[in-house]
């Protein structure tokens, strides 16, 4: 009886603690636990913990199977007690997050040194200012097809740029963004790889049939923060009045069915949806571009899990044109898999992954006028997670390029 009471109190403490100051981001002693979930009741419990605590779910509690949770040292005893009580098996995936991040930081620095003075390569990860400078250089180097426009400013004052690649002949357009969640470095790297293929690779011919719009990193402040302060930062960097916690989950901040599931009203949660729809200036900037451009295809790149998803995220119901989106996604993933054998799961966000209202793909399909909208969760499935090594940037990007290229070919001709 005493053990059950202690576990109950531990669960309550995890789920109801309201910090009086910004929760410490100290990763000393933090661990990543890989939990095997075999019961829907347990899955629901973890979804509740995600929305009501500061536990950092590296993979969403989306389906029965394994989920990765980063747990800081002060929460470890309570969570392990809860797992024991619920008879849930788990393994320690990363025994010391601080040491792991320190080791990876050194490897990132070495890779960046090896890359030298190259304005952009895919053997290293580049910061926000470097990406912007590279976009500007493309407009100078390829003036007949590349146009860069300053379309907005982030909360902290960083310029947000939109790259257009076009020959002026196309009817249809594809809009692609990345980096919505700051720590997902492989997403901007993959998007910039696509750009390179279109200006100087095997995608040049696609420009006759499709206009391409790119914003490689749409959470500038968060992305910059992962390079200078906290590698695992996910959200934006805007303050929340009345709360010590900073930032909003930008992919819960879009207005279509905002806060109707899979989001949190707690500012300290990693899936905090914000005080209102489009509270985040960065998402308003992207929204405004979509409203003007009305692209036929909207693509947003994230990591990790290897999923190719389409709406809806707010409900398990399916859009009217889901079969068309599903068929095109299946073809894109087949092209992707043919490169290195990497397997992706295809389906609607809520059925493949998890209920998550307020996402950009739902909005693009319903309000933004896109015919096809996809959220792609890139490599891997947890071996490296957010710290995908530099030697896997090109394999990830080149296989995903084949899926991207197939979609562009389809859109250009049908």
- Gap between the Cα atoms of 56 and 264, Å rounded: 13
Q: How far is CA 251 from CA 8, 190, 316, 412, in A?
A: 32, 19, 18, 29
- Gap between the Cα atoms of 179 and 303, Å rounded: 9
Q: Which of 60, 280, 282, 377 is flagged as catalytic?
A: 377
- Gap between the Cα atoms of 282 and 54, Å rounded: 23
Place of tokens 């947890």: 382
- Gap between the Cα atoms of 74 and 30, Å rounded: 8
- Gap between the Cα atoms of 27 and 44, Å rounded: 27
Q: Which two tokens stand for residue 360?
A: 């950009």
Give strand ranges (E) for 266-312: 297-303, 307-310
CB 178 within 8 A of CB 188: yes
Calculate the dihedral angle through the C-alpha atoms of 288, 289, 294, 298, rounding to the nearest 10 degrees: -110
- Gap between the Cα atoms of 323 and 327, Å rounded: 6
Place of tokens 């003075």: 117
CB 33 within 8 A of CB 79: yes
- Gap between the Cα atoms of 178 and 187, Å rounded: 5
Active site residue 390: no
Q: Which two tokens stand for residue 388?
A: 């995908």
Which amino acids are annotated catalytic?
377
């Amino acid at each position: 009886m005493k053990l059950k009471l202690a576990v109950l109190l531990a669960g309550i403490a995890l789920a109801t603690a309201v910090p009086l100051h910004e929760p410490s981001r100290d990763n000393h002693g933090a661990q990543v636990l890989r939990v095997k979930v075999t019961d829907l009741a347990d899955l629901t419990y973890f979804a509740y913990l995600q929305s009501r605590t500061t536990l950092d779910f590296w993979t969403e509690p989306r389906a029965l199977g394994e989920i990765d949770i980063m747990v800081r040292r002060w929460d470890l005893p309570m969570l392990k007690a809860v797992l024991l009580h619920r008879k849930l098996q788990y393994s320690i995936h990363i025994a010391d997050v601080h040491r792991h991040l320190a080791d990876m930081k050194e490897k990132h620095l070495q890779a960046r040194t090896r890359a030298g003075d190259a304005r952009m390569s895919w053997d290293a990860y580049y910061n926000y200012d470097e990406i912007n400078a590279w976009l500007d250089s493309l407009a100078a180097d390829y003036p007949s097809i590349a146009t860069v426009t300053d379309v907005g400013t982030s909360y902290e004052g960083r310029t947000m740029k939109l790259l257009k690649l076009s020959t002026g002949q196309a009817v249809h357009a594809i809009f692609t963004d990345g980096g919505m969640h700051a720590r997902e470095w492989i997403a901007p790297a993959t998007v910039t790889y696509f750009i390179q293929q279109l200006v100087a690779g095997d995608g040049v011919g696609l420009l006759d049939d499709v206009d391409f719009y790119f914003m490689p990193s749409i959470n500038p402040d968060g992305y910059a923060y992962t390079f200078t302060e906290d590698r695992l930062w996910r959200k934006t960097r805007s303050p929340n009045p009345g709360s010590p916690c900073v930032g909003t989950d930008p992919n819960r901040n879009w207005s279509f069915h905002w806060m109707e599931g899979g989001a949190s009203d707690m500012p300290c949660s990693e899936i905090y949806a914000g005080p209102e729809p489009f509270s985040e200036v960065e998402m308003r900037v992207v929204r405004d571009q979509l409203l003007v451009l009305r692209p036929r295809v909207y693509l947003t790149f994230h990591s990790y899990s290897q999923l190719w998803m389409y709406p809806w995220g707010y409900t398990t119901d399916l859009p009217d044109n889901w079969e068309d989106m599903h068929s095109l996604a299946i073809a894109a993933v087949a092209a992707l898999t043919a490169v290195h054998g990497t397997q992706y799961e295809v389906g609607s966000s809520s059925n493949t992954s998890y209920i998550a209202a307020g996402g950009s793909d739902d909005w693009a399909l319903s309000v933004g006028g896109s015919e096809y909208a996809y959220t792609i969760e890139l490599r891997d499935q947890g071996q490296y997670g957010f710290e995908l090594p530099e030697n896997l940037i090109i394999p990830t990007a080149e296989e995903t390029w084949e899926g991207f290229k197939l979609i562009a070919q389809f859109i250009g001709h049908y």
